[in-house]
Amino acid sequence: MKVDITIAILLVLVAAAIGYVIGNVLRKKLSDSLVTNAETLAAKMIEDAKRQAEVVAMEAAVQAKDVVYQAKEELERQFEQESREKRRDLQALEKRLQQKEENLDKKTNLFDQRDADFLKREQGLAQREQSLSNKEQGLTQKEEKLDALVGEQKAKLEQIAGMTAAEAKKFLMDSMEDEAKLDVAKLIKAMEEEARETADKKAKEVLALAMQRYAGEYVAERSVSVVTLPSDEMKGRIIGREGRNIRALEAATGIDLIIDDTPEAVILSGFNPVRREVAKLSLQKLIADGRIHPGRIEEVVAKSQEEIEQAMKEAGEQAAFDLGVHGIHPEILKLIGRLKYRTSYSQNVYQHSLEVAFLCGIMAAELGINVKQAKRAGLLHDLGKAVDHEIEGSHAVIGADIAKKYGESPKIVHAIMAHHEDEKPATVLAVLVQAADALSGARPGARREMMETYVKRLDDLERIATSFDGVVTSFAIQAGREIRVMVSSDQVTDDRALVLAKDIAKKIETEMTYPGQIKVNVIRETRATEYAR
């Protein structure tokens, strides 16, 4: 607008200047008439310039008004849009506040209901306590009356029998002891027969008792791995925001992570040794890498699983190669490699299997039987321990089933089944495997037991057995897992032998601490001797 006004003013000035110049020139060169015409023309041009300037000024004013109007409309639109957005935000905030208020009302109602229920329970407990107190008072009074009656009856009985209560009790106990023992023996025998029909239930009870005695040490040492951290700051990164990293790691591996006050250490807890090894390897990789988040955790766990599977496969193949045993099914080789992460009483089962295989081979060579077959049976004898935490049953039975499934010969299957007396050894090969297993597991230093402790445990077993009347001698065998008690046939009857086995087992449970279970065999032999003359 200012530019247009300036142009109009310039046009007026230019026109005035032109008219002035033309007038002077015409005054000098032309006549008076021409000068007059020129002045008239100049005045006309000046008038036209003024009108044109006015028009330009009016147009500029109109344009200015349009610009102001458009700017005003734009500001109104922006203001209206901002107002709508603020209204939406306020409505959303109001809605959230209303939801929180409703949730608080619900929680308040719930707490009120719980308080009411708690008061009702307290009232009920108070009523029951009062009722029990009343009953207890009544029972106390009845007990006093009964004690008085019993005292009177005892006095009358002592007067009639001519002996005191203690003398009568001793007489009855002495006269009925033998009869009671026989009755107990018969009852135990009947119960044993009934137990054989429900063998599965009894086996579970035995396992439960064994786990109860040994669970603390076993769980602490056989189902836990420890990963060392570079610093305590790493614990927070492993846990992650709101625990998302540790939950992702537990979900991916199936192993519990325990992060406590132990400085610079994380405990991995789980019964599956392979999963525990995968979790340990994954955590070590994540700590070394430094990038710890759910996506990275899944990726590292998947790679660790592949590495562990490959390591198990290579370990199984290496064992077969070292022993010179060929033609074993690949799935069996994987299970053999899996034993690398399995321990039994702190003894590595993979190394134990190799040791048993070598011992079987040496004994087979001495006896002149098939060496490779003996090594094969020794290598596979603990195959079931690779999956005994996944399948119910004895590891010998599980291993025999797996070997049979993957085409092993009947002799190998029988040797696996019989190495813990789950089946009576019927071949020389089965006896060799049983002997080699006992040698590898029972030798001092193979398992967590010092020489002095080992010998003392065997001596204690034999001492406890020989402390009973009628026992001639006893022998602790199977590395202390079994004791055979030889009794005199003159002093111990068949029924009494059952009672004696129970008594010895009970005394062993009371006086000794041992892993697993101990089998007590009472052997009674009758010999008839006569001389022909």
Task: Give the tens place of pLDDT for each residue, 93-120.
Answer: 888 888 888 888 888 888 788 778 778 8
The β-bridge relationship of strands 224-228 and 265-269 is antiparallel
CATH of 324-442, one of 1.10.3720.10, 1.10.3210.10, 3.60.21.10, 2.40.30.170: 1.10.3210.10
Termini Cα distance of the chain = 160
Determine the pLDDT at residue 222: 46
Mean pLDDT of 252-279: 78
Question: Strand, helix or coil at 528?
Answer: coil
Asked whether the predicted pLDDT for residue 38 surpasses 70, the reply is: no
Query: Per-domain residue ranges for the chain?
Result: 22-146, 225-310, 324-442, 457-525
pLDDT at 19: 66
Q: Which residue has the higher pLDDT, 361 or 2?
A: 361
CA distance 116 to 530: 90
Place of tokens 């200047």: 17
CATH class of 225-310: alpha beta
Quote the CA–CA distance of 337 and 316 in Å, as a whole number.
4
pLDDT confidence of residue 420:
80
Alpha-carbon gap, residue 290 to 292, rounded angstroms: 6
Give dist(CA 434, CA 439) in Å, integer.
9
DSSP, residue by residue, 237-303: HHH-GGGHHHHHHHHHH--EEE--SSTTEEEEE-S-HHHHHHHHHHHHHHHHH---SHHHHHHHHHH
- The chain-wide mean pLDDT, for the chain, equals 78
Judged by DSSP in three states, 348 sits in: strand
Instruction: Tell which residue, 241, 266, 270, has the closest CA to residue 253.
Output: 270
Largest CA distance in the chain: 201
Interval 320-374: pLDDT, tens: 888 888 888 888 888 888 888 777 766 788 888 888 888 888 888 888 888 888 8
Tell me the residue length of the chain: 533
**What amino acid occupies position 297?**
I
Q: Is the pLDDT of residue 417 over 60?
A: yes
Contact between 483 and 465 under an 8 Å Cβ cutoff? The reply is yes
Task: For residues 244 and 236, give the distance between their C-alpha atoms in angstroms, rounded to a whole number.
Answer: 11
Under 8 Å between Cβ of 267 and 246: no
Integer Cα distance of 20 and 38 in angstroms:
10
Amino acid at 508: I
Percent of the chain with pLDDT over 70: 77
Residue 345's pLDDT is what? 65
Per-range mean pLDDT, top range of 246-250, 369-373, 450-454, 515-519: 369-373
Residue 436 CA to residue 461 CA, distance in Å, equals 23
User: 3 forms bridges with which residues in the sheet?
Assistant: none
3-state secondary structure of 523: strand
What does the pLDDT average to over 189-201?
65
Question: In this predicted structure, what is the pLDDT of residue 532?
Answer: 76
Compute the distance between CA of residue 171 and CA of residue 174 in angstroms, rounded to an integer: 5
* Burial zone of 266 (CB within 10 Å; 0-12 exposed, 13-18 middle, 19+ buried): buried
Average pLDDT over residues 415-440: 84
The pLDDT value given to residue 216:
36
Answer CATH for 457-525 from 3.30.300.30, 3.40.50.300, 3.40.50.970, 3.30.70.20: 3.30.300.30
What is the spatial distance between Cα 499 and Cα 502, in angstroms, rounded to a whole number?
Answer: 5
Q: Cβ(502)–Cβ(447) under 8 Å?
A: no
Task: Write out the H or E segment, with its range, that includes residue 31.
Answer: none
What is the share, in percent, of the chain residues with pLDDT greater than 90? 2
What is the C-alpha to C-alpha distance for residues 336 and 321, in angstroms, rounded to an integer?
A: 13
Q: Are 294 and 244 in contact (CB under 8 A)?
A: yes
pLDDT of 485:
92
